[in-house]
Amino acid sequence: MDVVVQLQRQLADHTASLFHEGFLNEQFNQLQQLQDESNPDFVVEVVSLFFEDSERLLNELAKALEQQAVDYKKVDAHVHQLKGSSSSIGAQRVQGVCIPFRNFCEEQNNEGCLKCLQQVKHEYSLVKNKLETLFKLEQQLIAAGGSFPTL
């Protein structure tokens, strides 16, 4: 079977499942629409920024929640940032966990915050893996001589 067609199917299936399972939402479509010949790697660049930002924020969150006297304002600020960036790229599930997380911050509920931190870390690593797979499939497709139209 033609390798290109096979890869295209894989890519299509993988992408479709990301949306169906709620990992990504239409905001991600938006990013893809912004990619063009003048900026062919736009999506990868933005998603990489998201990975860097998120990892930094998750570290900061872990540190902040370990303190003897937790500064909930600081924690909330970090979660707010994470919520903003995840919503900008359409990482829906990550964004979703940020909402109860912020509520727990307001309540100064340490246990709730820690639980949310675990959850958001989990969702982040899931979406990260899936996006990395997506990009790998795209690269394989291009390498095999196939292409996908940039919008």
Q: Give whichever of 48 and 67 is closer to another protein, judged by the CB atom.
A: 48
Contacts with another protein, 31-60, as mask; x by CB under 8 A: xxxx-x--x--x--xx--xx--x-------
Closest CB 7 distance from another protein, rounded Å:
7
Q: Do you know the residue count of the chain?
A: 151
User: 84 or 107: whose CB is closer to another protein?
Assistant: 84
Site for another protein in 95-134 (CB under 8 A): none
For residue 92, count CB atoms less than 10 angstroms from its CB and return exposed for 0-12, middle for 13-18, buried for 19 or more. buried
Q: Judge contact between 112 and 99, C-beta under 8 A.
A: no
Q: Give the distance, in angstroms, between the CA of residue 117 and the centroid of all CA atoms in the same chain.
A: 15
Interface with another protein, residue 139, by CB under 8 A: no
